[in-house]
Amino acid sequence: MINWLSKWLPNVVSMGWGGDYGWWQSIYQTLYMTFFSAIIGGLIGLFFAVVLVISDTDGILPNKSIFWLADKIVSIFRAVPFIILLFVISPLTQVLIGTTLGATAALVPLSLSVAPFYARQIQAVLKSIDPGEIEAAESFGATNWDILIIYMKESFPEIIRVSTVTLISLVGLTAMAGAIGSGGLGNTVVTFGQQSKYDVVWVGTIALLLLIFLIQGIGDWLANKSNHAAAQ
């Protein structure tokens, strides 16, 4: 088996699993960037989504000024292409992390890029809740906090679905970040691709696809499970 791999995938074998440039390190960096930027960016995006929904004209706490400000912040960051954002906020990354290279430094642009995308997704989900349910809750004396819980509970399956879409998009962004030195599978594919070592390119691409399929499968399973639970 090893002889077969060495013959047909020589560069894949020569990378090995260990070391700073091995397969395990590459996979770990991709998972690290995806996981932590999803948490940071997800929390930021969720915050802005809630602010946009409750401060809208039909929200529970309508406020034109707050809505306008939150909407413009989300729109601006959503409009900036990720590859440009990497360089635009590099001074901020330098201040926060102390460097603009590496997987940890990539968390800053990744989080700021995924946050507005997630905010718009969650905003659309929350706005789709039947207004009659909110009005009924208010008629029974529900507090603003109670209504927020209703928003989240009623839209939970859809939140899982849009979170899955966001995670898959984030994997793609980590690959793009890898092109400028953040590490991960994206960096591996680009680096070895430039050296015409296409066996590594194919294996790295397949690894990224498997990660995406895994995220999609888990997301679909959780969404279906939550749908069944809500129907009972």
Q: Is residue 104 in a domain?
A: yes
In a domain, 16, yes or no: no
Tell me, what's the pLDDT at 2?
A: 59
Q: How far apart are CA 11 and CA 230, in angstroms?
A: 50
Structural domains counted in the chain: 1
Tokens of 226: 């939550």
Q: Per the domain annotation, does 167 fall within a domain?
A: yes
Q: Work out the number of other CB atoms within 10 angstroms of the CB of residue 37.
A: 26
DSSP state letters, 101-168 = SSHHHHHHHHHHHHHHHHHHHHHHHHHTS-HHHHHHHHHTT--HHHHHHHHHHHTHHHHHHHHHHHHH
pLDDT, residue 1, reads 55
Q: Tell me, yes or no, whether 18 lies in a domain.
A: no
Tens-digit pLDDT string for the chain (232 aa): 556 556 566 666 677 676 667 788 889 999 999 999 999 999 999 999 999 998 988 888 889 999 999 999 999 989 988 888 888 888 888 888 888 788 888 899 999 999 999 999 999 998 887 777 777 777 777 777 877 887 888 888 899 999 999 999 999 888 888 766 778 888 888 777 766 677 888 888 899 999 999 999 999 998 888 775 555 5
**pLDDT for position 225:** 82
Angle between helices 131-139 and 144-154 (to 10 degrees): 150
Structure tokens at 131: 């207004």
Task: Residue 163: give its domain's CATH number.
Answer: 1.10.3720.10
Domain containing 58 equals: 25-231
Q: Are 46 and 118 a contacting pair, CB within 8 Å? A: yes
Residue 193 domain-assigned?
A: yes
- Structural domain includes residue 103: yes
Q: Cα–Cα distance between 107 and 10 in angstroms, integer?
A: 32
Take residue 119 and report the two structure tokens written for it.
């905010």
- Any domain includes 8: no
Q: What are phi and psi of 9, to 5 degrees?
A: -130, 60
119 found inside a domain? yes
pLDDT of residue 156: 86
